Amino acid sequence: MAGFKLSTPKQELFARIKKFQQRLAAKKISAALILYKTDLFYFTGTIQQGWLYIPAEGCPVFMVFKDFSRAEQESAIGPIIQINSPDQIKETLKKNGYKIPESPETLGMEFDVLPVNLFNIYKKLFLKTKFVDVSTEIRLTRAVKSDYEINLMTHCASKWDKMMAKASDYIKEGVREVDAAGLIEGYARSLGHQGFIRMRMWTGELLFGHFMAGPSAALPSHLASPTGGPGTCAVSGQGAGFRKIKKHEPVLIDYGFGYDGYIIDNTRIFSIGRLSDELIKAHETMLENQELARKMAKPGTLCEDIYFAMLEHAEHAGYKDYFMGAGKPRIKFTGHGVGLELDEFPFIARGQKLIIEENMVIAIEPKIVIPGKGVVGIENTHIVTKNGLKPLAAFPDDIQVI
């Protein structure tokens, strides 16, 4: 079959599998059965439908339903075996040297994303097996990025920079938010944007991100985000609506850029003409807030400590009622990991005891939400270095006046 090629190098895939196997062994988990698309891609280099069996020790087995030919060409791991249903999993594993059903004694699955009805199928297949959740082990494995991943994300950031540099061409007085958003998103697609932003959170969904002007950006929504927006209808309930852009109001572009599976999540503020002193001051305060996080987020730092430092800074500056949302409920985080998904470990949030490690990738997003006026603030995706956070994108953080 022409047109498909190896996605992720073999050495990279097996390094990831080895890291995960070490976590399985530490938890005394015999093996894991991976079904979720994003995790399949992380460990195999393809999202073709199938089942990846990873023992705590030994070689993985990738069993594929659809499309087998494409999986063979896109994935560097092996063996890759074609099967037609989950009923064939045990027999396939036996043929590859794994003792089934006597073992695995414990089998890990992705409980955070696995539907109950689907899980019940595997319980019937492995009657003597104890099932456990390995979603945390998978997410911790994915949290620290390899040099290969960082190179991909750096390339992705350069494409995001190009998208932002073009955005001002489409922001004009009297143009509807949804029309300007469509033009920017179309340009992003021409740069190779994959067209969607993956989220792990249940019912979490996002297309490109949020483009909203003035008071639209301050409208709350169902999404776990400080910004919401009207959307085009109730079923979307977020992002650009039909309101027309006006002069002297903040135009928020909170867009991810997805390329080769990896995501950059950044925000910039534009305006047609100068904003009010009130909004300029609030934006500058958020840049200071970001700088605080950049210096603080060194390896060994507790995630929660960064969150509380950012919160204290905003409250001391007089933005207690507007930081990360207005009214209740408000968002209880100021940053999040980014990679194959928008909501990866670590989270810069209340109650998060995870320790920052070098080569984690974190989007820091301090924002001020003022009902009736709009949103100002910043978001940048950073890599954790020994000296703190280093931004991946180069586009200026200042308000972009058109």
Q: What is the 3-state secondary structure (H, E, C) of 333-355?
A: EEEEECCCCCCEEEEEECCCCCE
| 82 and 172 assigned to the same domain | no
Which of 142, 174, 194 terminates a domain? The answer is: 142
Q: Which of 48, 26, 43, 222 is nearest to 132 (CA)?
A: 26
Are 50 and 73 found together in one domain? yes
Same domain membership, residue 77 and residue 178? no
Closest CA to 155 of 189, 181, 192: 192
Q: Determine contact, residues 353/302, Cβ cutoff 8 Å.
A: yes
Does the residue 3 lie in any domain? no
How would DSSP label each residue in 294-342? Answer: HHH--TT-BHHHHHHHHHHHHHHTT-TTTBTSSSSS---EEEEE-SSSS
| Residue 378 counted as domain residue | yes
What span, in angstroms and rounded, lies between the C-alpha atoms of 363 and 336?
5
Tell me, yes or no, whether 207 and 135 share the same domain. Answer: no
Phi and psi (nearest 5°) for 79?
A: -75, 150
Residues 106 and 226 in one domain: no
Kindly state whether residues 267 and 119 are assigned to the same domain: no
For each successive 10 residues of the chain (402 residues), what is the average pLDDT? 70 97 96 97 96 95 94 92 94 84 82 96 90 98 98 97 98 98 97 93 88 92 84 89 97 96 97 98 98 98 98 97 88 96 97 97 97 97 98 98 96
Q: Do residues 66 and 162 both lie within one domain?
A: no
Residue 4 within a domain? no
Q: Are residues 134 and 148 in the same domain?
A: no
* 93 found inside a domain: yes
Last residue of a domain, one of 142, 177, 193: 142
Question: Is there a domain that residue 2 lies in?
Answer: no
CATH of residue 111: 3.40.350.10
Write down the residue that tokens 């270095």 correspond to.
385
Coil, helix or strand for 257? strand
- 84 and 211 together in one domain: no
Question: Of 142, 157, 191, which residue constitutes the final position of a domain?
Answer: 142
> With the C-alpha atoms ordered 153, 207, 184, 46, is the resulting torsion angle positive or negative?
positive
Quote the pLDDT of residue 78: 84
Does any domain span residue 248? yes
CA distance 203 to 225: 14
Pair (104, 149) in one structural domain: no
> Can you give the CATH number for the domain in which 218 is found?
3.90.230.10
pLDDT of residue 222: 82
What residue type is 144 in one-letter code?
A: V
Q: Which phi-psi region, left, alpha or beta, contains residue 148 (left: φ > 0; alpha: ψ -120 to 50)?
A: alpha
Strand-strand pairing, 374-377 and 61-66 = unpaired
Domain-embedded: residue 1: no
Count up the domains in the chain and report the number: 2
Burial of 316 (0-12, 13-18, 19+ CB in 10 A): exposed
Distance CA 31, CA 347 (A): 27
User: Is the domain of 171 the same as that of 251?
Assistant: yes
Domain of residue 361 covers 144-401
Q: Which pLDDT belongs to residue 96?
A: 86
Q: Does some domain include residue 5?
A: no
Taking the CA atoms of residue 81, residue 82, residue 84 and residue 89 in that order, the dihedral angle to the nearest 10 degrees is: 0
Are 124 and 166 members of one domain?
Answer: no
Helix (H) or strand (E) holding 281: helix 277-296
